[in-house]
A and B are shown apart, each in its own frame.
Chain A
């Protein structure tokens, strides 16, 4: 049935424990790993935003790179060229991708299955081409660097050029976004998304305007992907046309499938595993993608519901045999 209160309590406990652990971590690891973890948090946000549209609503969107790139460029260009403050720039890195997601989604959600996949790839490719060729505005493949002013909220202020400060900043935003998405999945709106994933026709027959709710999911996922892009450029102090490449969406696909789609926790674990794997393999192997690819094929064949699904099924077996 639905997630019970007991389970919810368990989640909150684990969530707080992990947050405490991650808060303490910068005191034990060097700057290199602090940056690595910050990037990892960003990709978690990107992966869970993708999971909303793919794992929960059932739409395989390769357009998320477009919104990620737009978010990245919004922050970079507003700060570098218009001297805007960090708060507003980051806020707009949600709003501008939302507007684009609205536009892209308006056309895309009319299509289903493979046609939806293709149209979202096409939009991402268009974005990438514009980013690549409009070099005076975007810096093209070389990209643009910038230096963000401190983030201010009332009396609260945080210096993002400080690696540790940036770490906590990104951690906080990703944690809030995670809770936001989790609540939405449990909400009546989330039940509609899931019903569309399970059976679009049935959802329509019981009175849900399926296209409208697909568009809503697409817009929310687009906004959060944009926020991930914004945080990514704040972390690297840089954005380039490469952010817009449709293969960036492919990262989210890999993370989500390895971890377990439609679970939120799954994609987060997927990011941790794949990025760590890549990080350690690079020491003795050039073609890390090859290993990740093999791992992906393995997961799809052996555990199509990802690691989380695999663990759940083991627990279930234990319950029934006990």
Chain B
């Protein structure tokens, strides 16, 4: 039995500089099991960079990243995936020429160890069953045969989350799932996310404050690469400093 407040992700003094520019500056962050942590901050605050450091797309300039108690600093993205961290991107990233079914299948199949070149893929009964249950969960059962470029943009955003979930992650990193959606579509997505992602540990980068306030258990505010404030949504809403640099400027 895992403890209730078991730490899943921990960042210690993480730095990232691009040339002379310090994009992430001594960030400490700790996310517990089952928590949905939102990362907010103005453009260029280093939110996406932070996700890139966690999943190994970028290497850190300093500091340490731990997953559960294991150090995962600078592991390559495919190894991070196998450790149990999945990721969606700000700009939709799918196997766009393949069907919805094949997209999910490819993700489910990734948990296998040996890829036999002499058997037909559809002989893998367990992968097939898992793919079908993922299609159920994500609500794509009726659209499974569609090539995913035929899906609506909102559906594509959901499918990408479905792909990430199909790798059975312990931690999910979501980079602006509502990017490019209007507020109505965003609310549909949020509803969907509540269903699909319940109980999942998540780090969510998001611009839409409505979505953040609706979903987040805790919020970390990034400003010029540093954590400015941290706490539950109500607390952050009242925080004077946060208002000044972030909320104040956009939601006055």
Interface, chain A (partner B; CB < 8 A)? 1-2, 183-184, 186-192, 194-195, 198-199, 201-210
Q: Per a CB cutoff under 8 Å, which of B93, B98, B112, B121 touches A205?
A: B93
Contact present for A206 and B122 (CB under 8 Å): no
The list of the 8 closest CB pairs from A to B, nearest first, reads A207-B81, A198-B95, A189-B115, A189-B117, A188-B115, A207-B110, A184-B117, A206-B110
Contact present for A202 and B121 (CB under 8 Å): no
Contact present for B120 and A206 (CB under 8 Å): no
Expressed in whole angstroms, the minimum distance between the Cβ of A5 and any Cβ of chain B is 9
**Which size class do B's interface residues fall under?**
35 or more
Contact present for B144 and A190 (CB under 8 Å): no
With a cutoff of 8 Å between Cβ atoms, the chain B residues found around residue A208 in the complex are 78, 110
Q: Which residue of A lies closest to B114 (CB)?
A: A188
B187 at the A interface (CB under 8 A): no
In angstroms, Cα B77 to Cα A209, docked, is 9
Contact present for A205 and B99 (CB under 8 Å): no
Could you give, for residues 114-132 of chain B, a 1 whenever the CB lies within 8 Å of some chain A CB and a 0 otherwise?
A: 0111111110100000000
With a cutoff of 8 Å between Cβ atoms, the chain B residues found around residue A202 in the complex are 93-95, 163
Contact present for B81 and A206 (CB under 8 Å): yes
In angstroms, Cα B94 to Cα A198, docked, is 8
Chain A contact surface mostly: helix
Contact present for B102 and A204 (CB under 8 Å): no
Contact present for B86 and A1 (CB under 8 Å): no
In angstroms, Cα B82 to Cα A174, docked, is 39
Contact present for A192 and B81 (CB under 8 Å): no
Expressed in whole angstroms, the minimum distance between the Cβ of B29 and any Cβ of chain A is 21
Q: Which residue of A lies closest to B163 (CB)?
A: A206
Contact present for B106 and A195 (CB under 8 Å): yes
In angstroms, Cα B122 to Cα A187, docked, is 8
With a cutoff of 8 Å between Cβ atoms, the chain A residues found around residue B82 in the complex are 207
Given A1-B144, A198-B97, 7 more pairs with CB closer than 8 A: A188-B116, A188-B119, A188-B121, A191-B109, A191-B121, A203-B106, A206-B107
Contact present for A186 and B120 (CB under 8 Å): yes
In angstroms, Cα B141 to Cα A1, docked, is 12
Expressed in whole angstroms, the minimum distance between the Cβ of B130 and any Cβ of chain A is 14
Could you give, for residues 222-239 of chain B, a 1 whenever the CB lies within 8 Å of some chain A CB and a 0 otherwise?
A: 000000000000000000
Q: Per a CB cutoff under 8 Å, which of A191, A199, A206 touches B167?
A: A206
Contact present for B99 and A210 (CB under 8 Å): no
Q: Which residue of B lies closest to A4 (CB)?
A: B122
Which one of A1, A188, A192, A199 has the greatest number of beta carbons of chain B within 10 Å?
A: A188
Expressed in whole angstroms, the minimum distance between the Cβ of A304 and any Cβ of chain B is 13
A-B contacts, 29 of them at CB < 8 A, read A2-B101, A2-B102, A2-B105, A2-B122, A184-B118, A187-B115, A187-B117, A187-B120, A189-B115, A189-B116, A189-B117, A190-B117, A191-B102, A191-B109, A194-B106, A198-B96, A201-B89, A202-B94, A202-B95, A203-B95, A203-B106, A205-B78, A205-B81, A205-B87, A205-B93, A206-B106, A207-B81, A207-B110, A207-B167
